[in-house]
Structure 1
Amino acid sequence: MAADVLSEVLSAVRLTGSVFFDVTTAPPWVAEAPPSAQIADAIKPGAQHAIEYHVITRGSCWISIVDGAPFEPVQLQEGDIAVIPHGEPHVVSSAPRMRAEPDLASHRRPPDESDLPFKLRTGGGGATDAHLMCGFFTCDVRPFNPLLDALPRFMRIGRGTSAATDALLEHFLHLASIDNADKRAGAQSVLNKLSELLFIEAIRTYMDQLSSANTGWLSGLRDPLVGRALALLHARPARAWTLDELAGNCGASRSALVGRFTQLMGYPPIHYLTRWRMQLAARRLTERGAKVAAVAQEVGYDSEAAFSRAFKKFSGQSPSEWRS
C-alpha cells in the first residue's frame, strides 16, 4: 500500500526526470550549481521546483552543499547517486572545499530534446579522472507536496543498496556509456525514466532507514495505522470520510487514529484529506478543458462555491486564477 500511495503522490506532483549534462573531467575541476529556484523554469518551463542529481559513472569526486547549515563534503565513488532534494546550491569537484561561479545559462533546456544531455569537458588538460551524468527532477510544490518536506537535504545511494537499485543502476550506466552516435532511438527517454526509477528507489531506501523516532509523511506511510489511513484516503479522496468511518476501516478507535496520525504527520486525517484534494484539483485545473464545477465534484465537493472557497483559502488563489 505504501508503494501505491507514493506512486500516486509522485504522479500528482508531476515528477519528471531528465538527464541534462554528460560531464567528463580532468583535475583540478569544480562545478557549482545555483539554487534550483533560479533555474527551474529554464530547465522545464512552468516547473515549480527542481531537484538536482548526479550519477558517478566513473572515478570519484566530492560534493558539498554551500548554503545554510554546515555540511561536510562527501566523497562520491563510481556507482553512487547523489540527490539534492531541496534544490540548495552545491559544489561538485575533484577535491573538497573548492568553489566556482555558477553558470545559469547552461541550464536552459534546448528546443530539441534530442540535444540532451549537453556534453561538457571541464578541468585541466590531463587525463580524465571522473565521468558524471547530471540531471534534474522537476515537480510541483504547490499547493501540497507531502513528499518534498519529508526528504533530507542530501540523499546518497550506490551499489549494494538493493537488488532493484543495482539492476536500475547497471542499465543506466550502460546507456550512459554509449556514445550518442551509437544510441538507439529513444535512448534519452529511457535514461530519463531510469533516473526517475532510481530516485524512487532512493526514497524507498531512505524510508526503510527511518527510525521509530522520526516523524513526517514518509514515517506516516510506513506506520501500520497511519499508513492504512493514508491508503484509504488516497484510494477514495472524493468520499465524504468521517473520522469514525476512517478509524473503523483502519481497525482502530477514533482517538487512537487521530492521536497517532497527528503525532507523525503534524495534523489530523481530515486536514490531510483536504490538502490532498487541493493538490489533485490543482493538477486537474491545469488540464485543457477542465471545468471548475467538474473538478469540484471529482475531489469531493457538491458545491462549486464551497470548493472555490476551500481552494482559495488553501492556495491563496481562486480556481480560475490558478488555472490561468
Structure 2
Amino acid sequence: MDALTDLLRGVRAQSALLCRSYAAPPWSVRFAGTASLTAVMASRGDGWLIADDHEPMRLRAGDIGLVRGPLPFVLADDPATPLQLDTTLPGCAKWAVGTRTYRLGEQGDATILTGSYEVEGSVSDRLLHALPRAFVVPCGPCPTVDLLSDEIAKDQPGQEGVLDRLLDLLLVFALRDWFDRPEANTPGWYRALGDPVVGPALRAIHDEPAVSWTVGDLADRAKVSRAVLAKRFTAQVGVPPLTYLTEWRMSVAADLLAEPDATVHSVARAVGYRDGFAFSTAFKRVRGVRPSDHRVVALRA
C-alpha cells in the first residue's frame, strides 16, 4: 500500500450530498461549505469557484475543484454576477426539478456538480492538512464527471453506492493530478514515494507499522547504508526515519482508539509496543493527550 492510498482510507463519500445544477447566464449559487471536503465539477460549460478569502478560480468543463471545509463558497458564471441562490437559506426547493437536480434560468448552458466527503480519523487529517483550503485541478474532459452527472438523475437499486464510489474515484484522480503540479507545494512524504531510496522505506513503515523497525532494517529495504537512508529520508520527508515511524504509529493508534472494542493495550500492540506504558508515553508526547483521554473524546464524537 502506498502512502496516498493509506491516507485516503478515511476520506470516503458516504451517502454523499450530491447536487446537479443546470444554469443559464447569469447564474450564481452560494454553498455553506460545511463538509470536511467538497468537490465541485463542471460537466458542461464553464464557471468560477469563489471561496471566501480566495481569488476567483476558473472551473472549465471536466475540471475538479476541491474545498476543504468549513469554508463557504460560490459557483457562478462570472465572479461579478450577483448572488441568485443561497443554499444556506430556506427556499431552495423552488429551484428543484428532480432528485438532486436544480435549474437556474430557462435553459441550462452549464451543468455543475457538487459532492461532499466525510473525513474520519487522524490518518486522513494528514492528507487534508497538505491541501490548500480551495483549489482547482485542471483535468480537461473527464468521462467520470460525465458518468456521475448521468447517474445522479437515476433511481435504481444500489444508486447511493454507485454515486459514492464515482465520487471517491474522482477524488483520487484530482489529488494525484494536483500533487504532480508545481504549484501544489506537495508534502515531502508524497514526493519521497517516487524516490528509489526513501520510497521503499516509507512503504515498509505504512504497510507494517507494528514491526520493530530500525534504521538498519529500513536501509536494507532500500538496499543502501544506514547513513545514506537517514540523510536522504530526513532531507526529503523533513524528519528522520524513526521519528516518522513514531508519528505514523500515533496517527494509526489515534484511529484505532476510536473503535468501540479497542483497548489501550490492544492498540499498543497493534502499532508495535509491547508495553502499554511506553505506548502511552509516546502517544502523549506526539499527540499531547493520554491514549485513554483521546479514546473518551473519540467515542463521544
Short-chain TM bin: 0.7 to 0.9
Contact 1:143 1:314 in 2 (8 A): no
Question: Are 2:267 and 1:295 aligned?
Answer: yes
Q: Given residue 156 of structure 1, which amino acid in structure 2 is its aligned partner?
A: V
Shift of 1:83: 1.5
Q: Decide which of 137, 154, 171 is 1:156's aligned counterpart.
A: 137
Q: Within 1, Cα distance between the matches of 2:89 and 2:224?
A: 55
Distance 2:82 2:201 in 1: 47
TM-score normalized by the length of structure 2: 0.82
Deviations 1:188-237 (A, max 9, x none): 221111111111111222233459x9652221222222211111111211
Letter in 1 for 2:51: I
The aligned runs of 1:91-170 (5 Å cut-off) are 91-98=74-81, 100=83, 103-104=87-88, 118-122=100-104, 125-140=105-120, 142=122, 145-152=125-132, 153-159=134-140, 166-170=142-146
- Over 3 Å counting, the alpha-carbon distance change for 1:149 and 1:265 in structure 2 is farther
Whether the 8 Å CA contact 1:150–1:216 is kept in 2: the answer is no
Cross-structure match for 1:113:
none
2:174 matches 1:174? no
Q: How does 1:76-91 map to 2 (within 5 A)?
A: 76-85=59-68, 88-91=71-74
Q: Distance in 2 between matches of 1:20 and 1:105?
A: 18
Residue identity opposite 1:57 in structure 2: S
Q: Which residue pairs with 1:45 in the alignment? A: none
> SS of the counterpart of 1:136?
strand
Residue number in structure 1 paired with 2:37? 51
Amino acid at match of 1:7: T
1:275 matched to 2:247? The reply is yes
CA deviation digits over 1:102-137, x for unaligned, max 9?
A: 65468xxxxxxxxx9744344xx4433322220122
- Aligned equivalent of 1:6: 4
Q: How many residues align?
A: 284
Q: Per the alignment, do residues 247 and 86 of structure 1 end up closer, same or farther by CA in structure 2, a change over 3 Å counting? A: farther
Instruction: Give the secondary structure class of the aligned counterpart of 1:55.
Output: strand
Q: Which amino acid aligns with 2:11?
A: L
More moved, 301-310 vs 20-29:
20-29
Distance in 1 (alpha carbons) for counterparts of 2:251 and 2:86: 33
Does the 8 Å contact 1:146/1:217 carry over to 2?
no
Check if 1:286 corresponds to 2:268.
no
Other structure's SS at 2:18 match: strand
Shift in CA distance, 206/294, structure 1 to aligned 2, threshold 3 Å: same
Cα distance, 1:81 vs. partner? Answer: 1.8
Q: Percent identity at matched positions?
A: 33
Structure 2 unaligned residues grouped into runs of 5+? 91-97, 297-301
Q: TM-score, normalised by structure 1?
A: 0.77
The equivalent of 1:227 in structure 2 is: 199
Q: Who is 2:12 aligned against?
A: 16
Aligned to 1:60: 46
Q: 1:148 to 1:226 in 2, by over 3 A?
A: farther
In structure 1, runs of 5+ residues without a counterpart are 41-49, 107-115, 161-165
Give the secondary structure class of the aligned counterpart of 1:92.
Answer: strand
Checking the alignment, whether the CA contact within 8 Å between 1:53 and 1:84 is kept in structure 2 is yes
1:187 paired to 2:187: no
Q: Aligned equivalents of 1:293 and 1:222: distance in 2?
A: 35
AA matched with 2:174: A
State how far apart, in whole Å, the 2-side matches of 1:198 and 1:159 are. Answer: 13
